Chain A
Amino acid sequence: MTSILTYTFKNLPSSTWALRFSLRPLSCSSQLRAAPAVQTSTKKTLAKPNVRNIVVVEGVRIPFLLSGTSYKDLMPHDLARAALSSLLIKTNVPKEVVDYIIFGTVIQEVKTSNVAREAALGAGFSDKTPAHTVTMACISANQAMTTGVGLIASGQSDVIVAGGVELMSDVPIRHSRKMRKMMLDLNKAKTLGQRLSLISKFRLNFLTPELPAVAEFSTSETMGHSADRLAASFAVSRLEQDEYALRSHKLAKKAQDEGLLSDVVPFKVPGKETVTKDNGIRPSSLEQMAKLKPAFVKPYGTVTAANSSFLTDGASAMLIMAEDKALAMGYKPKAYLRDFVYVSQDPKDQLLLGPTYATPKVLEKAGLTLKDIDAFEFHEAFSGQILANFKAMDSDWFAQNYMGRKAKVGSPPLEKFNNWGGSLSLGHPFGATGCRLVMAAANRLRKEGGQFGLVAACAAGGQGHAMIVETYPK
Chain B
Amino acid sequence: MVASRAIGCLRRFANASRTLHHCSGYICRNFSRSSALLARSHINYGIKDDVAVIRINSPNSKVNTLNQELQSEFMEVMNEIWASDQVKSAVLISSKPGCFIAGADINMIAACKTPQEVTRLSQEGQKMFEKLENSPKPIVAAISGSCLGGGLELAISCQYRIATKDKKTVLGVPEVLLGILPGAGGTQRLPQMVGVPAAFDMMLTGRNIRADRAKKMGLVDQLVEPLGPGVKPPEERTIEYLEEIAVTFAKGLADKKISLKRSKGLMDKLTSYAMGIPFVRQQVYKKVEEQVRKQTKGLYPAPLKIIDVVKTGLEEGKDAGYLSESQKFGELAMTRESKALIGLYHGQVLCKKNKFGTPQREVKNIAVLGAGLMGAGIAQVSVDKGLKTILKDATLTGLSRGQQQVFKGLNDKVKKKTLTSFERDFIFNNLTGQLDYQGFEKADMVIEAVFEDINLKHKVLKEVEEVIPAHCVFASNTSALPINEIASVSKRPEKVIGMHYFSPVDKMQLLEIITTPKTSKDTTASAVAVGLKQGKVIIVVKDGPGFYTTRCLAPMMSEVIRILQEGIGPKKLDSLTTGFGFPVGAATLVDEVGVDVAKHVAEDLGKAFGERFAGGSLELLKQMVSKGFLGRKSGKGFYVYKEGVKSKDLNSDMDSVLAGLQVSPKPEVSSDEDIQYRLVSRFVNEAALCLQEEILATPAEGDIGAVFGLGFPPCLGGPFRFVDLYGAQKIVDRLRRYEAAYGKQFTPCQLLIDQASAGKKFYQ
A residues touching B (Cβ–Cβ < 8 Å)? 217-220, 225, 229-230, 232-235, 297, 299-300, 346, 348-350, 388, 391-392, 395, 397-398, 401-402
- The 8 Å CB contact of B231, one of A299, A346, A395, is A395
Which segment, of B222-230, B342-350, B474-482, faces chain A?
A: B222-230
Q: What residue of chain A has the Cβ atom nearest to residue B227's Cβ? A: A233
Bound complex: CA A398 to CA B231 (Å): 6
> B600 in the interface, Cβ–Cβ < 8 Å?
no
Q: Is the CB–CB distance between A229 and B231 below 8 Å?
A: no
Which residues of chain A come closer than 8 Å to B228, judged between CB atoms? 229-230, 233, 346, 348-350
Which residues of chain B come closer than 8 Å to A219, judged between CB atoms? 420, 422
Chain B 199-229 per-residue mask, 1 if CB under 8 angstroms from chain A, else 0: 0000000000000000000000010010111
Closest 9 CB pairs of A and B: A349-B228, A233-B230, A234-B230, A233-B227, A395-B231, A218-B422, A232-B241, A233-B228, A229-B225
Other contacts beyond A235-B230, A391-B230: 17, CB < 8 A = A217-B422, A220-B420, A220-B422, A229-B227, A229-B228, A233-B237, A234-B231, A235-B237, A300-B222, A300-B245, A300-B248, A349-B227, A349-B234, A350-B228, A397-B231, A398-B230, A401-B233
The minimal Cβ–Cβ distance linking A17 to chain B, given in whole angstroms, is 31
The minimal Cβ–Cβ distance linking B698 to chain A, given in whole angstroms, is 42
> B232 in the interface, Cβ–Cβ < 8 Å?
yes
- The 8 Å CB contact of B225, one of A218, A297, A350, A398, is A297
Q: What residue of chain B has the Cβ atom nearest to residue A225's Cβ? A: B225
Q: What residue of chain A has the Cβ atom nearest to residue B241's Cβ? A: A232
Bound complex: CA A234 to CA B238 (Å): 11
Q: What residue of chain A has the Cβ atom nearest to residue B246's Cβ? A: A300
B residues touching A (Cβ–Cβ < 8 Å)? 222, 225, 227-234, 237, 241, 245, 248-249, 420, 422
Most A CB within 10 A of own CB, among B225, B228, B232, B245 = B228
A-B contact pairs, 14 of them (CB 8 A): A233-B227, A233-B230, A235-B230, A300-B222, A300-B249, A346-B228, A349-B228, A349-B229, A349-B234, A350-B229, A388-B230, A391-B230, A392-B230, A398-B230
The minimal Cβ–Cβ distance linking B261 to chain A, given in whole angstroms, is 15
The minimal Cβ–Cβ distance linking A210 to chain B, given in whole angstroms, is 15
The minimal Cβ–Cβ distance linking A405 to chain B, given in whole angstroms, is 14
The minimal Cβ–Cβ distance linking A302 to chain B, given in whole angstroms, is 11
Q: What residue of chain A has the Cβ atom nearest to residue B237's Cβ? A: A233
Which residues of chain B come closer than 8 Å to A397, judged between CB atoms? 231-232
Q: Is the CB–CB distance between A232 and B227 below 8 Å?
A: yes
Bound complex: CA A401 to CA B237 (Å): 15
Most B CB within 10 A of own CB, among A217, A220, A233, A398 = A233
Bound complex: CA A401 to CA B229 (Å): 9
Which residues of chain B come closer than 8 Å to A401, judged between CB atoms? 229, 233
Q: Is the CB–CB distance between A391 and B231 below 8 Å?
A: yes
The minimal Cβ–Cβ distance linking B48 to chain A, given in whole angstroms, is 15
Q: Is the CB–CB distance between A233 and B420 below 8 Å?
A: no
Q: What residue of chain A has the Cβ atom nearest to residue B229's Cβ? A: A402
Which residues of chain A come closer than 8 Å to B231, judged between CB atoms? 234-235, 391-392, 395, 397-398
Most A CB within 10 A of own CB, among B222, B227, B231, B237 = B231
The minimal Cβ–Cβ distance linking B75 to chain A, given in whole angstroms, is 30
Which residues of chain B come closer than 8 Å to A220, judged between CB atoms? 420, 422
Which residues of chain B come closer than 8 Å to A230, judged between CB atoms? 228
The minimal Cβ–Cβ distance linking A353 to chain B, given in whole angstroms, is 9
Q: Is the CB–CB distance between B422 and A398 below 8 Å?
A: no
Bound complex: CA A300 to CA B231 (Å): 21
Which residues of chain A come closer than 8 Å to B241, judged between CB atoms? 232-233
The minimal Cβ–Cβ distance linking B141 to chain A, given in whole angstroms, is 16
- The 8 Å CB contact of A398, one of B229, B248, B249, is B229
Which residues of chain B come closer than 8 Å to A217, judged between CB atoms? 422
Bound complex: CA A388 to CA B232 (Å): 13
Q: What residue of chain B has the Cβ atom nearest to residue A216's Cβ? A: B422
The minimal Cβ–Cβ distance linking A53 to chain B, given in whole angstroms, is 39
The minimal Cβ–Cβ distance linking B77 to chain A, given in whole angstroms, is 26
Bound complex: CA A2 to CA B256 (Å): 72
Q: Is the CB–CB distance between B248 and A233 below 8 Å?
A: no
Q: What residue of chain A has the Cβ atom nearest to residue B240's Cβ? A: A235
Bound complex: CA A402 to CA B230 (Å): 10
The minimal Cβ–Cβ distance linking A169 to chain B, given in whole angstroms, is 30
Which residues of chain B come closer than 8 Å to A229, judged between CB atoms? 225, 227-228
Which residues of chain A come closer than 8 Å to B234, judged between CB atoms? 233, 349
The minimal Cβ–Cβ distance linking B577 to chain A, given in whole angstroms, is 46
Which residues of chain B come closer than 8 Å to A348, judged between CB atoms? 228
Which residues of chain B come closer than 8 Å to A300, judged between CB atoms? 222, 245, 248-249
The minimal Cβ–Cβ distance linking A220 to chain B, given in whole angstroms, is 6
Which residues of chain A come closer than 8 Å to B232, judged between CB atoms? 397
The minimal Cβ–Cβ distance linking A231 to chain B, given in whole angstroms, is 9
Bound complex: CA A235 to CA B229 (Å): 11
Most B CB within 10 A of own CB, among A234, A297, A401 = A234
Bound complex: CA A283 to CA B565 (Å): 91
The minimal Cβ–Cβ distance linking B222 to chain A, given in whole angstroms, is 7
Bound complex: CA A348 to CA B248 (Å): 26
Which residues of chain B come closer than 8 Å to A299, judged between CB atoms? 222
Q: What residue of chain A has the Cβ atom nearest to residue B230's Cβ? A: A233
Q: What residue of chain B has the Cβ atom nearest to residue A349's Cβ? A: B228
Bound complex: CA A155 to CA B677 (Å): 89
Which residues of chain A come closer than 8 Å to B233, judged between CB atoms? 401
Bound complex: CA A229 to CA B225 (Å): 7
Which residues of chain A come closer than 8 Å to B237, judged between CB atoms? 232-233, 235
Bound complex: CA A218 to CA B419 (Å): 12
Which residues of chain A come closer than 8 Å to B422, judged between CB atoms? 217-220
Bound complex: CA A17 to CA B655 (Å): 103
Bound complex: CA A402 to CA B249 (Å): 32
Bound complex: CA A299 to CA B225 (Å): 12
Q: What residue of chain B has the Cβ atom nearest to residue A396's Cβ? A: B231
Bound complex: CA A377 to CA B121 (Å): 65
Which residues of chain A come closer than 8 Å to B245, judged between CB atoms? 300
The minimal Cβ–Cβ distance linking A235 to chain B, given in whole angstroms, is 7
Bound complex: CA A397 to CA B233 (Å): 9
Which residues of chain B come closer than 8 Å to A297, judged between CB atoms? 225
Bound complex: CA A233 to CA B244 (Å): 12
Q: What residue of chain B has the Cβ atom nearest to residue A394's Cβ? A: B231
Bound complex: CA A300 to CA B223 (Å): 10
Q: What residue of chain A has the Cβ atom nearest to residue B162's Cβ? A: A300
The minimal Cβ–Cβ distance linking B392 to chain A, given in whole angstroms, is 30
Q: What residue of chain A has the Cβ atom nearest to residue B233's Cβ? A: A401
Bound complex: CA A232 to CA B242 (Å): 10
The minimal Cβ–Cβ distance linking B175 to chain A, given in whole angstroms, is 33
Which residues of chain B come closer than 8 Å to A233, judged between CB atoms? 227-230, 234, 237, 241
Which residues of chain B come closer than 8 Å to A232, judged between CB atoms? 227, 230, 237, 241
The minimal Cβ–Cβ distance linking B246 to chain A, given in whole angstroms, is 10
Bound complex: CA A401 to CA B234 (Å): 12
Bound complex: CA A395 to CA B234 (Å): 15
Q: What residue of chain B has the Cβ atom nearest to residue A401's Cβ? A: B229
The minimal Cβ–Cβ distance linking A207 to chain B, given in whole angstroms, is 23
Most A CB within 10 A of own CB, among B225, B248, B422 = B225
Which residues of chain B come closer than 8 Å to A225, judged between CB atoms? 225
The minimal Cβ–Cβ distance linking A323 to chain B, given in whole angstroms, is 42
Bound complex: CA A428 to CA B183 (Å): 58
Which residues of chain B come closer than 8 Å to A350, judged between CB atoms? 228-229
Q: What residue of chain B has the Cβ atom nearest to residue A397's Cβ? A: B231
Bound complex: CA A235 to CA B248 (Å): 15
Q: What residue of chain B has the Cβ atom nearest to residue A296's Cβ? A: B225
Which residues of chain B come closer than 8 Å to A391, judged between CB atoms? 230-231
Which residues of chain B come closer than 8 Å to A349, judged between CB atoms? 227-229, 234
Bound complex: CA A391 to CA B237 (Å): 14
Q: What residue of chain B has the Cβ atom nearest to residue A299's Cβ? A: B222
The minimal Cβ–Cβ distance linking A467 to chain B, given in whole angstroms, is 26
The minimal Cβ–Cβ distance linking A313 to chain B, given in whole angstroms, is 31
Bound complex: CA A219 to CA B237 (Å): 21
Bound complex: CA A219 to CA B426 (Å): 12
Bound complex: CA A277 to CA B248 (Å): 42
Bound complex: CA A299 to CA B215 (Å): 14
Which residues of chain A come closer than 8 Å to B225, judged between CB atoms? 225, 229, 297
The minimal Cβ–Cβ distance linking B250 to chain A, given in whole angstroms, is 12
